[in-house]
């Protein structure tokens, strides 16, 4: 379809999740006319671990979000890593660029909170609008989107630039032939809420590296688990399985979640299905830039649509919000360009910016995912690594991507050094 009508905005952002709302917020704050389209209505349920690392918190603070407990946030001190009878508590590092605390909050109102920040900055939000396809000009460049409103009414919206923050399905990206790279990491996660007086106010996010069930206590099950306290009498308990695991695609993830939790201490309340608060829900985790390029013919990819989930820890929110800020910075500069060729050159630089930001780190994450998919490697790491606190502090900085640059301590220098040498190794693999 071609279009020559006047634009409805400078930029259309599709999807009011964390990445889309962040992009809309930063664009509007830079003075652009922004239209933010969301297929659902708020508040809404979303599948997520509901845990935020200091990297995500830093982005919320940039957007002016009040992260105090009085505003409904629950702070955590760090990460507790559990493997069978070994557990180690690792506080978030004290860094110049990131706060020393994480947060938990359910996605039920989290996304609306960020969308409201975008509206406060000047973006126009339309909910109940499902985008179905891009609109193209005669040159094959994206010039807007077609959509369907609640009730089935068709609609079209036009802008010289579209940001796709439409999630793992990547509907808009696929319309341009941008397919998922099957060689890059992919995960599946399931989660369920449980009432738990013993765990709901835990000061640490809890990550389980050894999943075992009562039926097969000697068998290491595929994947990793988490238990994140929400501070309201509930926890978010879930597990993820990576595509490097033999169990990927062949495991009943919901049954595995129930069987694993049935093997947890009775006083936690997670073994009793009577304490479940809602159904088990699942979602895919597109990792390691598994869809590129992140800009093509008037379309920028942000968040899950561009496979921006961290392969090391499954974190997606921080990277979606950061990408939204970078996309806004690039788009704002492009919209001020004196000519169309110059504007296109600036927009194409977005893909390079993203690769410079996380490319080597994600390539390193791909190697990591490949290694931990082998049970023998995972067993070796958990049996020996968890007994060395100094090593685990380095691992925490690596997994959560939390370092100062230039590094202030040995751990920073180690992790940053690994990032520096990885690009060549990653391309060879």
Question: 50, 107 in Cβ contact below 8 A?
Answer: yes
| pLDDT value at residue 196 | 98
Instruction: List alpha helices for 249-385, DSSP H.
Output: 253-261, 317-335, 340-354, 360-372, 375-380
pLDDT of residue 124: 98
User: What are the pLDDT tens digits along the chain (429 aa)?
Assistant: 455 677 899 999 999 999 999 999 999 999 999 999 999 999 998 999 999 999 999 999 999 999 999 999 999 999 999 988 889 999 999 999 999 999 999 999 999 999 999 999 999 999 999 999 999 999 999 999 999 999 899 999 999 999 999 999 999 999 999 999 998 999 999 999 999 999 999 999 999 988 888 888 877 787 899 999 999 999 999 999 998 888 888 889 999 999 999 999 999 999 999 999 999 999 999 999 999 999 999 999 999 999 999 999 999 999 999 999 999 999 999 999 999 999 999 999 999 999 999 999 999 999 888 877 776 767 777 776 677 888 888 889 989 999 987 666 777 777 777 776 676 334 434
The predicted pLDDT at position 217 comes to 82
Kindly give the interhelix angle for 360-372 and 410-428, rounded to the nearest 10 degrees: 80
CATH H superfamily, domain 11-76+103-182+290-363? FAD/NAD(P)-binding domain (3.50.50.60)
Domain ranges across the chain: 11-76+103-182+290-363, 186-286, 367-421
Residue in 296, 353, 294, 336 with CA at minimum distance from that of residue 10? 336
Closest alpha carbon to 255 in 231, 280, 233: 280
Residue 363, φ and ψ in degrees, nearest 5 = -65, -40
**CATH for 186-286 (3.30.420.40, 3.30.9.10, 3.40.50.12280, 3.10.580.10):** 3.30.9.10
| Dihedral angle computed from the Cα positions of residues 131, 137, 142 and 145, in that order, rounded to the nearest 10 degrees | -10
pLDDT at 427: 43
- State the pLDDT at residue 248: 84
- In the prediction, which pLDDT does 387 show? 74
Residue that has been written with the tokens 């080597």 in this structure = 360
Distance between CA atoms of residues 111 and 340, nearest Å: 34
* Cα(269)–Cα(272) distance, integer angstroms: 6
């Amino acid at each position: 379809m071609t279009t020559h009508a006047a634009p409805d905005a400078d930029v259309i952002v599709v999807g009011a999740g964390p990445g889309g709302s962040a992009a809309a917020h930063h664009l509007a704050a830079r003075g652009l006319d922004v239209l933010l389209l969301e297929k659902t209505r708020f508040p809404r349920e979303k599948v997520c671990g509901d845990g935020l690392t200091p990297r995500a918190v830093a982005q919320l603070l940039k957007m002016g979000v009040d992260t105090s407990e009085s505003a409904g946030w629950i702070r955590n001190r760090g990460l507790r890593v559990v493997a069978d009878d070994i557990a180690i508590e690792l506080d978030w590092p004290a860094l110049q660029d990131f706060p020393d605390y994480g947060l938990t909050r359910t996605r039920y109102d989290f996304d609306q909170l960020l969308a409201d920040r975008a509206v406060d900055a000047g973006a126009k939000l339309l909910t109940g609008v499902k985008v179905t396809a891009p609109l193209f000009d005669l040159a094959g460049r994206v010039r807007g989107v077609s959509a369907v409103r609640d009730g089935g009414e068709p609609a079209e919206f036009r802008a010289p630039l579209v940001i796709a923050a439409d999630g793992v399905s990547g509907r808009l990206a696929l319309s341009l032939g941008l397919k998922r790279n099957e060689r890059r990491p992919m995960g599946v996660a399931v989660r369920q809420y449980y009432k738990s007086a013993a765990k709901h106010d835990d000061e640490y996010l809890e990550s389980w590296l050894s999943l075992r069930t009562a039926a097969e206590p000697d068998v290491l099950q595929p994947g990793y688990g988490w238990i994140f306290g929400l501070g309201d009498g509930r926890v978010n308990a879930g597990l993820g399985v990576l595509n490097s695991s033999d169990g990927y695609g062949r495991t009943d993830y919901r049954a595995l979640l129930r069987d694993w939790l049935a093997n947890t201490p009775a006083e936690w309340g997670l073994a009793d299905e009577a304490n479940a608060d809602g159904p088990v829900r699942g979602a895919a985790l597109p990792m390691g830039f598994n869809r590129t390029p992140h800009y093509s013919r008037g379309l920028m990819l942000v968040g899950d649509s561009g496979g921006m989930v961290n392969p090391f820890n499954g974190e997606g929110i921080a990277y979606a919000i950061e990408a939204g800020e970078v996309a806004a910075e690039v788009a704002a500069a492009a919209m001020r360009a004196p000519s169309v060729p110059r504007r296109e050159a600036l927009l194409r630089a977005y893909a390079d910016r993203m690769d410079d930001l996380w490319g080597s780190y994600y390539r390193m994450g791909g190697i990591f995912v490949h290694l931990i998919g082998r049970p023998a490697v995972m067993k070796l790491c958990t049996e020996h690594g968890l007994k060395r606190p100094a090593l685990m502090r380095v691992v925490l900085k690596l997994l959560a991507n939390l370092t100062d640059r230039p590094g202030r301590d040995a751990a920073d220098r180690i992790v940053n050094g690994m990032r520096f040498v990885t690009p060549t190794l990653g391309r060879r693999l």
